[in-house]
Copies of this chain bind each other. A is one copy, B any other.
Amino acid sequence: MQASSFTESLPRRVVVREMGLRDGLQSVATVVPTAAKLEWIRAAYEAGQREIEVGSFVPPRLLPQLADTGEVLAFAQTLPGLRATVLVPNMKGAERAMDAHAEMMLLPLSASHAHSLANLRKAPDEVVAEIGRIRAERDARGVRTAIEVGISTAFGCTIQGRVEPEEVVRLVQAVLDAGVDAVSLADTVGYADPAMVSRLFERVLRVAGDRLVCGHFHDTRGLGLANVFAAMQLGIARFDACIAGIGGCPHAPGASGNVSTEDLTYMLHSMGVETGLEFDRLLALRARVVQWLQGEPTHGTIWKAGLPKTMKEALHA
């Protein structure tokens, strides 16, 4: 094959979807005050972020850090052009999201049976059935809240170990049949490598086509950005990330750190891919978030190394 094929299908523009306020904060003990979250969202918006997951409609006793999700969502909805999303684990959460006129709700569906039981106390097929009921409820209400299903532990699971690609494909087909608007693939525990990403995204694209809208990678073992690159080669143009590389999964022992927003943005800008993001503002926001987290572990590389001399001017243009 022609070698240029390896870059010719890279998207020209990529959306970096911020997960810090949900995937990030759900796995730290520190409760960030609501006022700080609103400042965070405004700063992210001013840095150019237009898709932000602002929280999760779960019972406050489970995740007190996210108990203010309703208030945070309401603020985010005042910012023009911002697509604020919320995670919902079940019908109750979905009802709250629809009550709040959320533009999009993200429903997690574990491809690992063991992880699904640990995380949602339901087997994957029970979750699929619940997703079908949520879709029906949305139709009954006639609201526009979009439904994206995130297939978690799609590349393996710390509890169960191996997750079969066939099971991922089967679940994607099942939720598409249930009428969801979009699906994404998540490496919840940092088990993916770029060859696995190429192969699994390729298989799921055959089933989902352009309804496969996003890749969600954790950088637990240093392969997060390599995995993003592999998915980009297949045309994927939206990636989840957390500022300062925070995040993880409380039910996946050993997992740590989403791909960092600022490192991902650096890679994309270096490759000439548009993001709409202002790098300096992201770094300033990172510093604020590190303060709010009061010593919780943070990650990332570019804030230490600094931009290459070759990029400093280009990025400010």
Contact = CB atoms under 8 A, between A and B. Distances in A.
Interface in A297-311: 300-302, 305-306, 308-310
Given A193-B267, A193-B270, A230-B229, A198 B7 contact: yes
A302 B233 contact: no
Contacts of A309: 156-158, 161
A233 B305 contact: no
Interface residues of A, number: 54
Given A266-B221, A301-B221, A198 B6 contact: yes
A150 interface: no
A300 B4 CA distance: 31
A52 interface: no
Given A256-B305, A308-B156, A3 B198 contact: yes
Contacts of A288: none
Contacts of A193: 267, 270-271
B5 A1 contact: yes
A189 B280 CA distance: 22
Contact of A223 (B6, B234, B267, B306): B267
A10 interface: yes
Interface string A185-227: 0000111011110110110010000000000000111110110
Given A233-B6, A234-B6, A266-B221, A310 B161 contact: yes
Contacts of A254: 305-306
Contact of A156 (B9, B156, B222, B310): B310
Interface string A148-162: 000000001110011
A272 interface: yes
Contacts of A51: none
A238 to B, nearest CB: 18
A23 interface: no
Interface in A278-317: 300-302, 305-306, 308-310
A263 interface: yes
9 cross-chain pairs, A with B, having the tightest CB-CB distances, nearest first? A222-B301, A3-B202, A226-B226, A193-B270, A195-B271, A191-B308, A6-B198, A161-B309, A194-B229
